[in-house]
Amino acid sequence: MAEKENILMQRYEMGKLLGKGSFAKVYHARNVKTSQSVAIKVIDKDKILKCGLMDQIIREISVMKLVKHPNIVQLYEVMATKTKIYFVIEYVKGGELFNKVQRGRLKEDVARTYFQQLISAVDFCHNRQVYHRDLKPENLLLDGSHNLKISDFGLSALSDCKRKDGLLRTICGTPAYVAPEIISRKGYDGAKADIWACGVILFVLLAGYLPFQDKNLMDMYKKICKAELKWPSWFSSDVRKLLWRILHPNPNRRISIEEIMKHPWFRIGLDARLSDSTMNTTRDAMPIDVDLALDSLNSNIVECNSAAEKLTNLNAFDIISLSNGFDLSGIFENNSNKEESKFTSTNTTSTIVTKLMEVAKGLGLKVIKKNGGLLQMEVSKPRIKGVMSINAEIFQITPNFHLVEIKKTNGDSLEYQNFMNQGMRPALKDIVWAWLGE
């Protein structure tokens, strides 16, 4: 009986758990007919619907059906039950490129090879009017032959997402890799934003750390907008020149992918097959038919009741992605910080603001300034280290998903901790989905 329950829809033998997030678990599996190894992403429908992310899932499937490239993780099949959605995808056993970088910076030749493969795949996507919008080492996987594979298209945009001016508006991505024009909220070119992220990735591969780094999120955004770069001594002159052009804060002056591929540093040791396939993508590019992609998706969804529904019981916190595609935890400062607390909420901005003001009043705080998603509060009586002041700032991830950052701006750290643990945290339980770090 146990063996039958381990077979998903009479097609795949489920294996070990590879990873998990708030909405999904990813398993290793084997096709019972062909013995091919695959990865199966098991998505919880109810949680996706609750957070208003079903359109995002449909978009991810549509995009993955359109981008067939040696350096992109392939989607083989989509199935569904009443409570679960199953992505059957290519199994990439080498893990994340991020894990490789964590062990130290890469040699220039190795970094260049990965960058060449990344640019080839991104160019392929752009020629099909697909923009990834969350490129980072965590979303770049390595196969058994150490070839790079782009994964997690959950935040990608299709051409139909553009406004009449040809620009995208949705603010998304991982902050450390986000382009300045996205932060400015004035609309952005998806291709230019992806190119910026590729530049950040190249810097990380060569340096072993991020080019724009700060414990404070807003200070990091300021550095990004100014493109404040400090070059490590081991960076060659050619790679510096290339990165200057990629990480230009003005998207209109930023280098294009075509120019990157012609750059002397990029072309060193370029695999002839990679070069040919990259050039072919331009000639083969075709306009996207989103309706056709969705029709194809619908024809491949299988509705059935299966014992495999017992496989998942999700509870972990990971923000949006199905396999860390939008995991913000890595870019926020260590949650052991005694002067900051962060939580996520599925309530609207107005509901969160109202609740914060209600809690502040109940705890004897007065709101001294309210500006959009920022509240400045302070205690009415000075303490040993002066008046304790607190800022609460709300960041919108999706219309129904928010990150709230509470930070002490003045006063005693121990007093702040006691205030949070004994007063603020219990009082906010009605709107908190999860506290970061828990």
Binding-site entries: 41
Any idea which residues carry the catalytic annotation? 134
Stretch (H or E) spanning 7: strand 7-8
Instruction: List the domain boundaries for the chain.
Output: 2-92+290-311, 97-284, 340-435
Q: Which two tokens stand for residue 12?
A: 């795949």
Kindly report, residue by residue over 305-355, the tens digit of the pLDDT.
333 232 222 222 233 232 333 333 333 334 445 678 888 887 888 888 888
Q: Binding-site residues for ATP, please?
A: 41
Q: Which two three-digit tokens encode residue 399?
A: 């219309």
Whole-prediction pTM: 0.64
Q: Rounded mean pLDDT of the chain?
A: 78
CATH architecture of the domain with residue range 97-284: Orthogonal Bundle (1.10)
Please give the CATH superfamily to which domain 2-92+290-311 belongs: Phosphorylase Kinase; domain 1 (3.30.200.20)
Whether 355 contacts 431, CB under 8 Å: yes
CA gap 28, 306 in Å, rounded: 18
Q: Is the separation of the CB atoms in 376 and 368 below 8 Å?
A: yes
Whole-angstrom distance, CA of residue 343 vs CA of residue 12: 37
CATH topology agreement for domains 2-92+290-311 and 97-284: no
Report residues of the chain scoring pLDDT below 70.
1-5, 22, 154-173, 185, 272-338, 372, 380-385, 397-400, 437-438
CATH number 3.30.310.80 is the correct assignment for the domain at 340-435: yes
pLDDT digits (tens, 9 = 90+) for 233-244: 999 999 999 999
Q: How far is CA 239 from CA 104, 247, 367, 433, in A?
A: 19, 12, 50, 44
